[in-house]
Structure 1
Amino acid sequence: MYISQTLRRAVQLNGQGTATVFAGRRQTWREFEDRIACLANGLLSLGINAGDRVAILALNSDRYLEYFYAVSWAGAAVNPVNIRLAPPEIAYTLNDSGSKVLFVDDTFAALLPSLQPQLESIKHVVFMGEGECPQGCIDYESLVANADRIRDANAGGDDLAGLFYTGGTTGRSKGVMLSHDNLVFNALNVVAEMGYDSDTIYMHAGPMFHLADMASTFAVTLAAGTHGIVPRFDVDEVLAFIEQEKVTNTLLVPTMVNLLASSGRIANYDVSSIKRMLYGASPMPEAVLISAMEQMPTVSFAQGYGQTEASPIITSLGPEHHIWVWRWWCLMKMIRWYLKVRLAKYVRGDQTSCWVTGEWNQQPLIPCAMVGYIPATLATWTRMDLSSSLIEPRTW
């Protein structure tokens, strides 16, 4: 499996169909492929080689999606940086990953004066915003326009596709290494569960750096659907985009669903085009879910559960299981394809105690689990042979 395979399929099946919609810009899948093949060549001109890391620090945009595919097309690995991090944390992830090129937009270009002195490996900064290109940066559109289209590097299988840093709740963030197989097998799961096809119009309202939203990024492309993109979540902007573009699918984290449900503005917009609204990444309060379902009765809600290390989906909860019966939810978890899940029990106290707690364990039957965490030292990292997984196969 290789990420660019999803794009080739979209071009073959729906070449003249709309690939992206953002801020008044639209492009077909053939146009999208042409641009990312040129951008990939631009990356090579900046000294990017196979396996090198290319980072991005930006809000959502059509260029963010181009970045994902251009980096893969060039045979390199993505490093989408969490936009909520403080500058020292951003510098840490960039240095720890050994990223050589950094893409920034208008919002985060303002951080460059304080950020750049802390960076150890970044050689070039590409400005992908709409405003004037800052001094010392490379203009994104010029990088695309001045490069010829190149052939796909055909990176795939267990080649490194990207580094995705965890939240670091118990210490420093760890760089999760995900392969092409990891991300494409996840896409296959999501297409099957979400029912994506060429008529799908998926709205990226959650941050595109996050694997919760990225669970659908390669899946929508694989299905030759349309990526509708808003820069960030805003209640009226999201509702207006749904109405204008006839969005069929989206993912919102529970906080976003709560903001919609408590806004009192859903009735002001036509959201009947939405077939399925996926939620996840944090616990959903029951009252919020009930309120959202009542205000959007034509929308089917679904829950996804996963983790970065699982690339990311582990289980899902479809609309058919969102049933309110006698004040009890009829909740059933559907286990992801190609994955075993068990509830491990641990006895607390003495051996006669019957009070137990459970912990979800997963066992990948195909490459769903991460390759491993980034090694502790850059020297080890650069010497690592990624062809042999750091995660033992068929283990819990």
Structure 2
Amino acid sequence: MTRVAPPPSPILDVAVAGAGPTGFVTALALRRALGPSLRIGVFDPGLARSGPADARASMIAADGRRLLQDIGGWPETAFPVSGLRITDSRLEDALRPTFLELDDAGRDEPFAHMVFDAELRARLRAAADDGEIPLRAEAIDGFHAGPGRLTLVLSSGENVSARLLVAADGARSLVRASARIATHAFAYDQTALVATLSHDGPHGGVAVQHFLPGGPFAMLPLDEGRSSLVWSERRETAATMAAADDAAFLAEVERRAGPDYGAIRLAGARGAFPLRFLLARSFVGTRVALVGDAGHVVHPLAGQGFNLALRDVAALARVVAEAARRGDDIGSDASLAPYERARRFEAASLGAATDGLYRLFSSSATRTLRDVGMGLVDRAPGLKARIVGAATGR
């Protein structure tokens, strides 16, 4: 049985707000970097609740896989991805020529792995229990700074002190708001429809992404005969599809997937998630560091959202460990400054790139230009290798 216990001390080295995958990875990575003497607590009112099974799966790059393995959070059910194929077409087109193909040829590890989000959450929570990381089923309602620490006000009314507060509490982060860190944010006119599918045709371990006028339609390989669907569609059409019965939904999936998959069936729950963009103006505040969706939310067309979060965590753990080894205050502005420099530029760059791709592929007027561009990339081995490296964290 999962243990939910109070922190071991009223004065924590690190408090983590949020017990989703990013929050658990943060706590586990910091514990691994700083050792068992680290006084840490994870706070999230959701720890007291059990929600419905998550229909989503994540494609995790090689560097993220290594981090999850190092902290004991890698699910044994991960599925290797051997490559990525990108097409650009209209829905009615009979043929969908491949304009860009990336694979793991010449490498000693897969391109990436697919992991069910629900299984990743369960494995991370088990690792937190094994590591005796204290969990509190309470929200951090606010905080104020004092000499050398923050005083956190919990939803129970209790006060807890911490030298560093990590916001892993998502895109609507209460910690970010309390720290008065501004954001640049807007909603896309798209919703992501997600599901686990079974199909008669083989996927060969290759992730396929069709850029269609309504948005990118991705079939991401799981075990043989199953794929994870991430279908980004205009909001109005997506609402119709989300409300449709299974037969009508699958008929539209088959139209977009093409004949290679054969007959397609549902193999799990369906879900729908509105898409948005968010970038925090700063990734640090007074004794506060933002990780994951608290700092950035990008369009899922590149599948890099959670990989970006894992790179945040790796960078923060490294920065905090270095400060601790020097004997410095781990929550000071000087200690956190390298984290800001290391992570905000990449997040801003990736956010701009995915937003640019979304707008490029949403415009039928630029189709010929973008197809020529993808064709040139596909024929340039050096450039392709750099793109694979950036996508996989190698």
TM-score normalised to the size of structure 1? 0.26
Higher-RCO chain (CA-CA 8 Å, sequence separation at least 6): 2
TM-score normalised to the size of structure 2? 0.26
Greater strand content: 2
